[in-house]
Amino acid sequence: MIAGCVENGSVDEAFEYFKAMPERNTESYNAMISGFIRWDKIDEAVKLFEEMPRKNGLYERMPNKNVVAMTAMIMGYFKEGRVEDARVLFDGIRYKDLVCGNAMMTGYAQNGNGEEALKLVKLGIQPDNLTLVSVFTACSGLASVKEGRQIHVLVIKNGFELDLSLCNSLITMYKKCGSIADAEQAFRQTNGAGLVSWNTIISAFAHHGLYEKAVDFFNQMEAVGVKPDGVTFLSLLPACGHAGKVNESMDFFDLMVKKYGIYPRSEHYSCLVDILSRAGQLEKASKIIREMPFEADAGVWGALPAACSIYLNVELGELAAKRIVEWNPHHSGAYVVLFNIYAAAGMWDEVTRVRLQMKEQGVKKQ
């Protein structure tokens, strides 16, 4: 009954059943504590865990604070960012199993303590597939390609090589650590077996300004019959921008819409507007914004002001800055760019007006 209520989200009802039990055992405590943790009732879980009695010689039938309950509490502490409490509890477990070890590694990784997660791996605690994904994420945060390669060896030794989620995490880790050759090798291990893998490697190439590689892999993806999605083009468009490929960016945008029927999101328009603006094609960028099928947000307008300042397009820069401020009145960047545009154009009255407006809004020049 307790497990059923927890599964349906009726935690309070589950607790009523728990309290009504004439005799509670280890399983009932485990189920109730895990239920509290699952539905983010951490304080209730802590209280029940502390109340959970210990088995002793006189009361053999009383439940024991076993590894299941303690692991549930470790996960709960990590959910609230109570990393030290989780570690104290973990250290107090006499016979640690793989589940509690994986809970610790995942918790550390998710709380930005990548080094501690890696230490546990080195101590001999063997992670499972899901935990390895978290550990690779931790390596990405540390930008530690050396540590990442060591964990990669562990993956190979344990026969996890063909696990797609692991390979994708490897690609992302090597991308963030700057080891593109390793990222490509990790991709090869997937045998091109999925859109996510293709998107991840294309993103890696784009992230490091390797336009030709990104496009080459996109062409390979099409050749093997994998249909791209909006995420694919969110990598290709910035790759075009970094390489100064203005016409190619327009071609990819058209390909996305016309061939694949992908409905462009705000991020796609923002990329395109940014590319055109950097190339000085401000009127074309403005035209794209005007013809958008939905209202441009601050992200789209935000791609314009800096270029307007460089190319001294006061009218368009003013419009873009005003639209940004409408979305976010405290956006300092919009005021600063507008300030610079007016100053470059010698429009000192407008400079004074913007300065006063910034003061009224409590915006400080960054």
The dihedrals phi and psi of 133, each to the nearest 5 degrees, come to: -60, -45
Contacts of 300 (CB under 8 A, 6+ apart): 266, 269, 270, 273, 289, 292
Of 280, 301, 298, 305, whose CA–CA distance to 290 is shortest? Answer: 301
Q: Which two tokens stand for residue 117?
A: 């997660």
**For 82, what's the count of Cα atoms within 13 Å in the CB-facing half-sphere?**
15
pLDDT in tens, 42-93: 887 778 787 776 553 333 443 455 777 888 888 888 988 889 989 988 988 8
The single residue listed with the structure tokens 């405290």 is: 330
Most confident of 75-89, 101-115, 211-225, 301-315: 211-225
Task: Judge whether 318 and 309 are in contact, CB under 8 Å.
Answer: no
User: Cα 155 vs. chain centroid, distance in angstroms?
Assistant: 23
Report d(CA 17, CA 77) in Å as an integer.
25
Rg, C-alpha atoms of the chain = 27
The dihedrals phi and psi of 260, each to the nearest 5 degrees, come to: -100, -5
Residue 129: pLDDT band with limits 50, 70, 90: confident
**How many angstroms separate the most distant Cα atoms in the chain?**
90
pTM: 0.73
Crossing angle (nearest 10°) for helices 180-188 and 164-177 = 170
pLDDT in tens, 186-227: 898 887 678 999 999 999 999 999 999 999 999 999 999 999
Report d(CA 83, CA 296) in Å as an integer.
42
CA angle 226/230/233 to nearest 5° reads: 85
